[in-house]
A and B are shown apart, each in its own frame.
Chain A
Amino acid sequence: MFRTSARQNPLRSSALHLVLIVYTLICVAPILLIIMNSFKSRRGIFGAPLEFPRGETFSLEGYETVFTIGNFPLYFQNSLIVTIVSLLLTVVFGAMAAFALSEYRYRGREILTLYMILGLMVPIRLGTVGILNMMAAAGISNTLTALILVYTAQHLPLAIFVMSELMRQVSDDLKNAARIDGLSEYRILFRLVMPVMRPAIATIAVFTMIPIWNDLWFPLVLAPSEETRTVTLGAQFFIGQFVTNWSAVLAALSLAIIPMLVLYMLFSRQIIRGITSGAVK
């Protein structure tokens, strides 16, 4: 409907595009600024912050600092491990919990659903002290495991909420046909239900992955040591109380965008399908 009316009216269509282009510029500008300035010398950053790097302002000193002084390959590895493992755990356990909540009838199911969803309303940072004590008692502070556990717990509620709503829409007949064919409940979940829900899972993956990758709080509290430092925490290394090495900070941040960009591109086709699946049929 919308597409045809837009096509019939070029004025309206161009106005729409104008609004979208302006909005895109507003969104992209800060990122562009970071990337632009990461290729400048310190003088260039402060002398002409809005200009593209040119002859005398162009410099790779930020990137050189990042790769020589900091231990960035390790930080990247840490961030990737934490993000990907948390993501996998969230999706796998979220799907299993959602299946249990949406598929079976048993006593206390409503209470259990509410309990799971309650996590959406409680800001996890309020529990930082408790979490820190718990991790110390368990002897896993300053490990990536601590971060993975916290992030998985933090993102499970949303995953369960979204997936259990969607699983209700997967045809009962299909699951029953599989039961008659003798498939186990696990295979029904992972081989039949999850593939049907691929767009939803991609959406959940993105909403889980970006906050984990960007998080500064828990790495700072739970895993600040050199070996477990994540990229966001590592970039702080260049921000001092009195002197900040801006070109290095910006270079570190520019690099930090890349993995997320790659993962987003992997998921994006599914996400677009997920977002539009209800609207366009």
Chain B
Amino acid sequence: MGELAFRNITKRFDKTEVLRHIDFQIEDGEFVVIVGPSGCGKSTLLRIAAGLEDQSEGQVIIGGTDVSLAPPAKRAIAMVFQSYALYPHLTVEGNMSLGLKQARTPKDVIKERIAEATRILALEPYLKRKPGQLSGGQRQRVAIGRAISRHPQVFLFDEPLSNLDAALRDQVRMEIADLHRRLGATMLYVTHDQVEAMTLADRIVVMHDGVVQQIGTPRELYKTPANTFVAGFIGSPRMNMFQGQANSGVIRAPGLPPLPLPEGTALSGPVTVGLRANGLDLHPAPGAGADTSEVVDIDYLGNVCYLRLTLPDDATMVVEQRPDHPFSLGDHVTVTVQPEEVHLFDPEGLRI
């Protein structure tokens, strides 16, 4: 009942296409996160779902009804904005009730809905205050409360955590995750932050240049990225990418040991090799050589260390190590690759 479907959505501003043939469906009760770099069209897509922007082509279906031409208030959606967007002249209570009053909801129902939202988000002490008297985290909770009180079929979140500082961001993120578990509502969430995407989502939609790159669970995206963009975008630190040549069952890339091709693939020609920082092993080397790399930087993060290496051909590579690793700056090392952690992409960037 609370599904949200995009049917072949295209959006043009003048002549530039910002969205191209977006076509996917969010199931009832599912939490889907759209993630991508800024300018990829993710916010535009969300605004089209809300009815704040018109699509140039295609349909938006919410709960089985085609709402492509319906105004925002008639779409059974609620939206939470990055800048909170609370009405400055109304109290917290007024902010939550305005939409309901506007829809001519009976008074006792309004009261009930507000009491429910207040209980869920523990807003009781703030009901009579105005937004100006609240902190950033509280304001965002009120904005979420306003969304809850509407009892929408679909919740839309537009980068709701971006204006909060790091500590609050984690806290509100967990509250949103709890909220999804408790309400079981359909949620569509836009962010550029892959940590938010990975932790909150049932499924992630990765977008780039107005095109959906891949849709899948966080695990699928991390384990089997569909192309080099997704491979580079998901996962931190960034996946190491190298240009190489496949020939007679072996891939050779400058600075890397020869890599065996996966069983059963006969491939030759240029390929892109993707290696995550945690799929690599380091071994001390006695000195500089044709197949050794130099440690040029060490980032100590407490639980892990990231070592930046300069390969013999001057490319760089990031390798994850345990914090008690024996290496120090300037050391020469040889790199070996765990074969199951090798990602291969063809010259078009598609996964092989």
Which A residues are within 8 Å of any B CB, using their own CB? 171, 173-174, 176-183, 191-192, 195-196
**Chief secondary structure at chain A's binding surface:** helix
Residue B137 is within 8 A (CB to CB) of chain A in the complex: no
Using an 8 Å CB-CB cutoff, how does the interface string of B292-312 with A read, 1 for contact, 0 for none? 000000000000000000000
A181 and B102 contact, Cβ closer than 8 Å, known pairs A176-B50, A176-B52, A176-B79? yes
- Interface residues in B256-304 by Cβ distance below 8 A to A read none
A196 and B79 contact, Cβ closer than 8 Å, known pairs A181-B99, A183-B102? no
Cross-chain contact B83 with A180 (CB below 8 angstroms): no
Which residues of chain A are near B52, meaning CB under 8 Å? 176, 179-180
Residue B82 is within 8 A (CB to CB) of chain A in the complex: yes
A171 and B85 contact, Cβ closer than 8 Å, known pairs A176-B50, A176-B79, A180-B78? yes
Cross-chain contact B71 with A179 (CB below 8 angstroms): yes
- Bound-state CA distance A171–B74 (Å) is 23
- Bound-state CA distance A171–B82 (Å) is 11
Q: Which of B71, B85, B103 contacts A177 (CB 8 A)?
A: B85
A180 and B87 contact, Cβ closer than 8 Å, known pairs A173-B81, A173-B82? no
Residue B177 is within 8 A (CB to CB) of chain A in the complex: no
- Bound-state CA distance A181–B74 (Å) is 9
Which residues of chain B are near A191, meaning CB under 8 Å? 89
User: Can you list the 10 inter-chain pairs with the closest CB atoms, starting with the nearest?
Assistant: A182-B73, A181-B99, A173-B85, A173-B81, A177-B85, A182-B102, A180-B72, A173-B83, A174-B85, A179-B72
Q: Whole-angstrom distance from the CB of B184 to the nearest CB of chain A?
A: 22
Cross-chain contact A179 with B73 (CB below 8 angstroms): yes
- Bound-state CA distance A191–B51 (Å) is 22
Cross-chain contact A180 with B99 (CB below 8 angstroms): yes
A176 and B85 contact, Cβ closer than 8 Å, known pairs A182-B102, A182-B103, A183-B102? yes
Which residues of chain A are near B102, meaning CB under 8 Å? 181-183
Residue B77 is within 8 A (CB to CB) of chain A in the complex: yes
Q: Whole-angstrom distance from the CB of A187 to the nearest CB of chain B?
A: 9
Residue B88 is within 8 A (CB to CB) of chain A in the complex: yes
Which residues of chain B are near A180, meaning CB under 8 Å? 50, 52, 72-73, 77-79, 99
**8 sampled A-B residue pairs with Cβ under 8 A:** A177-B86, A177-B87, A179-B72, A179-B73, A180-B52, A180-B72, A181-B73, A182-B74
Q: What total of chain B residues lie within 8 Å of the partner, measured CB to CB?
A: 26
Which residues of chain B are near A181, meaning CB under 8 Å? 73, 98-99, 102
For A174, A177, A182, A192, the residue with the greatest tally of chain B CB atoms inside 10 Å of its CB is A177
- Bound-state CA distance A122–B181 (Å) is 64
- Interface residues in B69-117 by Cβ distance below 8 A to A read 71-74, 77-79, 81-89, 98-99, 102-103
- Bound-state CA distance A180–B71 (Å) is 8
Q: Whole-angstrom distance from the CB of B12 to the nearest CB of chain A?
A: 12
Cross-chain contact A195 with B99 (CB below 8 angstroms): no
List 9 additional contacts besides A171-B85, A182-B71; criterion CB under 8 Å.
Answer: A173-B82, A174-B83, A176-B72, A177-B81, A179-B71, A180-B77, A180-B79, A180-B99, A195-B88
- Interface residues in B310-342 by Cβ distance below 8 A to A read none
Cross-chain contact B50 with A192 (CB below 8 angstroms): no
- Bound-state CA distance A211–B102 (Å) is 41
- Interface residues in B143-191 by Cβ distance below 8 A to A read 146, 158
What residue in chain A is nearest B82 (Cβ atoms)? A173
Which residues of chain A are near B88, meaning CB under 8 Å? 195-196
- Bound-state CA distance A96–B314 (Å) is 62
Which residues of chain A are near B71, meaning CB under 8 Å? 179, 182
Q: Whole-angstrom distance from the CB of B337 to the nearest CB of chain A?
A: 47
What residue in chain A is nearest B47 (Cβ atoms)? A176
Which residues of chain B are near A173, meaning CB under 8 Å? 81-85, 158
Which residues of chain B are near A196, meaning CB under 8 Å? 88
What residue in chain A is nearest B103 (Cβ atoms)? A182
For B47, B85, B103, the residue with the greatest tally of chain A CB atoms inside 10 Å of its CB is B85
Q: Whole-angstrom distance from the CB of A45 to the nearest CB of chain B?
A: 53
Cross-chain contact B87 with A178 (CB below 8 angstroms): yes
Which residues of chain B are near A177, meaning CB under 8 Å? 79, 81, 85-87, 146
- Bound-state CA distance A174–B146 (Å) is 13
- Bound-state CA distance A147–B71 (Å) is 42
Q: Whole-angstrom distance from the CB of B208 to the nearest CB of chain A?
A: 24
- Bound-state CA distance A192–B98 (Å) is 12
